[in-house]
Structure 1
Amino acid sequence: MSWLIALSDFFLYVVLAFLAGDAVLRFIQSEKKPLIEVPKKWLVLALASIPLLLAPPVIQLVLLLGNRFGLMQAMIDVITQFRTGQSYVFGVLMALAWLIVVWRDGSAGLRTFWLVLSVLNVAYASHAASIADWQGFTAHALHFLALVLWAGVLIHIAWFMKDGRNWRAFLNWFTPFAVALMVILIGSGIWLMLFFVAPEDYTSSWILPYGQLLLLKHLSIIPLLFAAFINAALSRSDAPNRPWLKVESWLLLVVLLITAFMSKLAPPHNINETFRLEGSAPFVEWFAGPQYLPVQAVWTPNIDGFLMMAIGVIFLGLQWLGYRKQLPEWLSFVFSLGFVAATYTGFMFSFLF
């Protein structure tokens, strides 16, 4: 059921990003943004989906405890004693209040208030908060808030823009806004990572499923930043480049998807102990053969690794070529994924564990 919970988290992140974009753009004057039309029913449906998307981890925990205490007692215990259950109750109440605000065309301030509370609620139920108390809670909240704000505005611009009027005026405020969010994302991401993986254990953690996804997330950020740079700095036209806005939004969704699956894996506080309990990640033995304790990643340069990394650089160049030649956006997105896959393979060929 863990994959179902991870997917529900992914869709929850997308929904909150969509709602965050709505809140942010309502603060912006009409002459400083393109014409964007989002039907109210889409916002209502997004908010109505939140209780459903929050439910899978609660159901899993209730079923697990129900075998020992009965379903009714398990439900009471989960709601009163577990962060997951408490977060679900808070999340449903906040979604209901937020829905009333949207239904009655409430202000941007009220929408933002419920957005921030919903982000804090997600952070409250996170691994980081349960492990590092207020520091983990703060780091996760900052990281998640920055991510949904950036993704939310981008989703609205890429998919709901009716015309590109005021594009230059939009970039004048959105570019520094996105840069600030990226700084917060990177800073809070490093902060979060240090709760789970010591810097000296970063490469050794790649033997574990969590470490594999952490590496893939870091690699996926590179083509995302490249796409953002193209949209913000290289596209000099007074009209938006809709295909590349969509490429950037797809890459952000990839980051959100990896983040959702990471949140359901055991963080490698002690790599050797986690490896002993869970074993290696599915693809590690394909690249490096059978693994044994103790785990210690060793950099072993070889021609296979260098060739795959070179192919990764070529894919990044093809991503640039896709922009220059105005190739279909899906092809540029495939080039981005090709960079991630090839560079990942190059790293895995270049380490012995």
Structure 2
Amino acid sequence: MIYVSEALLYICFALLTGTFIIRTVPERLRPDIRVGNGVLLVCALAVPVLSFVPIHNTAVIFARDFDMPYFTILRQVLSDIDAGKAWLWTLIGSLGLAALLALKSFRDDKHMPKVGLFITFLLIVWLGYASHSASLYGMKGVIVHSAHFLAVAVWIGILFVASWFSRNGENWPAFVRWFSPVAIVCVLISISAGLILMSFTTPQYVQSWILPYGQMLLIKHLLLLPLLLFAYTNGFGYRLKLLRNESFNPRPWIRAESLFALLVLIATGILGQQTPPHDVSETLQSVSPSPVFTAIYKGSFSPDIKLALHLPPESLLLLAAAIVMAAGLISMYRGNRLKLAFAMGVLVTLFGYFGLMFAIA
């Protein structure tokens, strides 16, 4: 349940961020995009509900361990723990945003998107305040986590809104011209902040593959590969495609890209509720190894095992197959064969995953 709620929470943030940014862009620079205010209102109200799930789980665990009433523990969590304090601010900000969205005078005001975007930015900062990195590294952790998630929300939010809520294909060249550099900047920020976060939470990257957190982190990174390939074709190949075929419709391709982005968001949400392995051998004292890892790894296992990568023939073949699928995805874009391109994107992740897992020694 907690993984589902966290994934839905990240999707709500992406929808809010993407919609408010799109509404600040002049109509001549974007397609006709209609996101109903009801959708935004539901997202604003869902944020405190979904972000309360980990608070509730913490209170349940403490109430059971200390044999105290649930509401007594909940009150202490909300008043004494940073994650609880952040949730209270999230509740206030979300209800404020929902109240504004419910006012017709505000919905019709030209400054509405800017105000909504500012409140959403504050909600993202409070999400960072409640993160693992913030609890370990204070304000530095808050800034890095918030920057990482904000970049992802801007990139994927605009992508998701433009692909699924656009009414027509007008102004796509103008949209791509400004969105491509925005996406590139967001990708660079998210990668840079992500590497810093990994140095905080997962300094033993390969070693962490023993744990569920490390497995999900690896899957997230491998899902980024087809996402970036689709982003490359949609951002740079689109202009060439349009020159050759004026009737080319980019929306199905951008929707395919958004589906991989959705998978990345889901993986990110799951990571947010798993124990980060600052020291894998110590984490294994309280967290069981990943069932996927134990099913694939055939060597002897102990909590103090040290993993390394080598490249046996089967790993080389699988990684080579992943590269072939990546090249095939770009080729399928040139031939406008979306289903094959999407399948190849999935295979890039699968072949890459098993190629790396079989390389563990």
| Common fold by TM > 0.5 | yes
What is residue 207 of structure 1 aligned with on the other side? 210
**2-structure distance, mates of 1:299, 1:149:** 35
User: In 1, are the aligned partners of 2:169 and 2:251 still within 8 Å (CA)?
Assistant: no
Is residue 309 of structure 1 aligned with residue 319 of structure 2? yes
- Answer with 121-130 or 230-239: which moved more: 230-239
Q: Deviations over 1:232-275 (max 9, x none)?
A: 10012266511110111011111111111111111111111112
**2-structure distance, mates of 1:180, 1:263:** 23
What is residue 257 of structure 2 aligned with on the other side? 248
Match of 1:333 among 342, 349, 356: 342
Q: In the superposition, relative to structure 1, how do residues 240 and 154 fare at CA in structure 2: closer, same or farther (>3 Å)?
A: farther
What is residue 266 of structure 2 aligned with on the other side? 257
AA of the residue aligned to 1:231: N
User: In 2, are the aligned partners of 1:271 and 1:295 still within 8 Å (CA)?
Assistant: no
**1-structure distance, mates of 2:156, 2:84:** 27
- TM-score normalised to the size of structure 1? 0.93
User: In 2, are the aligned partners of 1:247 and 1:332 still within 8 Å (CA)?
Assistant: no
What is residue 149 of structure 1 aligned with on the other side? 154
Q: Give runs of aligned pairs for residues 1-353 of structure 1, distance below 5 A.
A: 4-67=1-64, 68-103=67-102, 104-105=106-107, 106=109, 107-198=112-203, 201-236=204-239, 237=242, 240-289=249-298, 290-329=300-339, 331-352=340-361
**2-structure distance, mates of 1:334, 1:162:** 26
**1-structure distance, mates of 2:48, 2:202:** 32
- TM-score normalised to the size of structure 2? 0.91
AA of the residue aligned to 1:6: Y
**1-structure distance, mates of 2:38, 2:157:** 17
Q: In the superposition, relative to structure 1, how do residues 278 and 65 fare at CA in structure 2: closer, same or farther (>3 Å)?
A: closer
**2-structure distance, mates of 1:175, 1:240:** 17
AA of the residue aligned to 2:185: A
Deviation at 1:327, TM superposition (A): 2.6
User: In 1, are the aligned partners of 2:322 and 2:352 still within 8 Å (CA)?
Assistant: yes
AA of the residue aligned to 1:218: H
The alignment covers a number of residue pairs equal to: 346
User: In 2, are the aligned partners of 1:23 and 1:108 still within 8 Å (CA)?
Assistant: yes
Q: Secondary structure at the match of 1:277?
A: coil
Q: Secondary structure at the match of 2:277?
A: coil
Q: Secondary structure at the match of 2:167?
A: strand
**1-structure distance, mates of 2:20, 2:68:** 43
Q: Deviations over 1:275-304 (max 9, x none)?
A: 233232112222222412422222232111
User: In 1, are the aligned partners of 2:253 and 2:338 still within 8 Å (CA)?
Assistant: no
Q: In the superposition, relative to structure 1, how do residues 293 and 16 fare at CA in structure 2: closer, same or farther (>3 Å)?
A: closer
**2-structure distance, mates of 1:174, 1:279:** 43
- Answer with 296-305 or 125-134: which moved more: 296-305
Deviation at 1:54, TM superposition (A): 1.6
Deviation at 1:230, TM superposition (A): 0.5
RMSD value, Cα: 1.7
AA of the residue aligned to 1:19: L
Q: Deviations over 1:309-329 (max 9, x none)?
A: 122223223322432332344
AA of the residue aligned to 1:94: G
AA of the residue aligned to 1:314: V
Deviation at 1:69, TM superposition (A): 1.8
**2-structure distance, mates of 1:322, 1:333:** 9
Q: Secondary structure at the match of 1:38?
A: coil
**2-structure distance, mates of 1:78, 1:277:** 22
- Unmatched 5+ stretches in structure 2: none
- Answer with 134-143 or 320-329: which moved more: 320-329
Deviation at 1:127, TM superposition (A): 0.6
**1-structure distance, mates of 2:74, 2:277:** 30
User: In 2, are the aligned partners of 1:250 and 1:333 still within 8 Å (CA)?
Assistant: no
Moved over 4 A (4+): none
**2-structure distance, mates of 1:90, 1:276:** 35
Deviation at 1:46, TM superposition (A): 1.6
User: In 2, are the aligned partners of 1:308 and 1:346 still within 8 Å (CA)?
Assistant: yes
